[in-house]
């Protein structure tokens, strides 16, 4: 499988509880390299643009409020099959369904406040990485 890059976000419920390092340790233990990372505080409009694909979903407004409520850590993870591998490490969207040892099983508070975002396909990964990082900031 080819080396890939994926966009990850450590969400406000996790930054608030000081879990950035523990979450990053799970990525690194799974063979994912953090090749770019920064802590930012999104505006609601910036969160809304990022999650535009979900704008018809009933939880969209709540999701945008949550993602702009406190700082997030946006990061680019690199590795073999990084997109799928990251989704495995994250666990299911709803922590009640997440496998043991996954980030969401260990840390998520609810289906909404679920600690991490990860891109779901190569096309979305490319768009999402470009939303937050310039080429100069990606140091493999």
Catalytic residues: 117
Among 40, 93, 96, 137, binds ligand ADP (CB under 6 A): 93
Of the two residues 131 and 137, which places its CB atom closer to ligand ADP in the complex? 131
Per-residue buried b or exposed e for 60-98, using 16+ beta carbons within 10 Å of the residue's own CB: beebbebbbbebbbbbbbbbebbbebbbebbbbeebeeb
Query: Under the criterion CB under 6 A, does residue 97 sit at the interface with ligand ADP?
Result: no
Query: Under the criterion CB under 6 A, does residue 81 sit at the interface with ligand ADP?
Result: no
Cα–Cα dist 140/132, whole Å: 16
Among 31, 71, 81, 112, binds ligand ADP (CB under 6 A): 112
Query: Under the criterion CB under 6 A, does residue 99 sit at the interface with ligand ADP?
Result: no
Cα–Cα dist 140/81, whole Å: 15
Cα–Cα dist 6/126, whole Å: 8
Of the two residues 20 and 124, which places its CB atom closer to ligand ADP in the complex? 124
Distances, alpha carbon 106 to alpha carbons 8, 53, 58, 91, 138, in Å:
17, 27, 26, 10, 29
Nearest approach, Cβ of residue 24 and ligand ADP (Å): 18
Contact window for ligand ADP (CB under 6 A) among 16-24, 95-103, 114-122, 124-132: 114-122
Task: Kindly list the residues in this chain that would bind ligand ADP in the complex (CB under 6 A).
Answer: 54, 59, 63, 93, 111-112, 114, 117, 120
């Amino acid at each position: 499988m080819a080396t890939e890059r994926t966009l990850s976000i450590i969400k406000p419920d996790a930054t608030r509880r000081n879990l950035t390092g523990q979450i990053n340790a799970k990525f690194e233990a799974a063979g994912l390299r953090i090749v770019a990372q920064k802590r930012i505080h999104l505006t609601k409009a910036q969160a809304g643009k990022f999650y535009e694909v979900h704008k018809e979903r009933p939880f969209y407004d709540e999701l945008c409020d949550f993602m702009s409520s406190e700082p997030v850590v946006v990061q680019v993870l690199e590795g073999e099959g990084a997109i799928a591998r990251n989704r495995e490490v994250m666990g299911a969207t709803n922590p009640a369904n997440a496998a043991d040892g996954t980030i969401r099983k260990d840390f998520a508070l609810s289906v909404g406040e679920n600690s991490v975002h990860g891109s779901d396909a190569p096309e979305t990964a490319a768009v999402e990485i470009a939303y937050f990082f310039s080429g100069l900031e990606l140091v493999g």
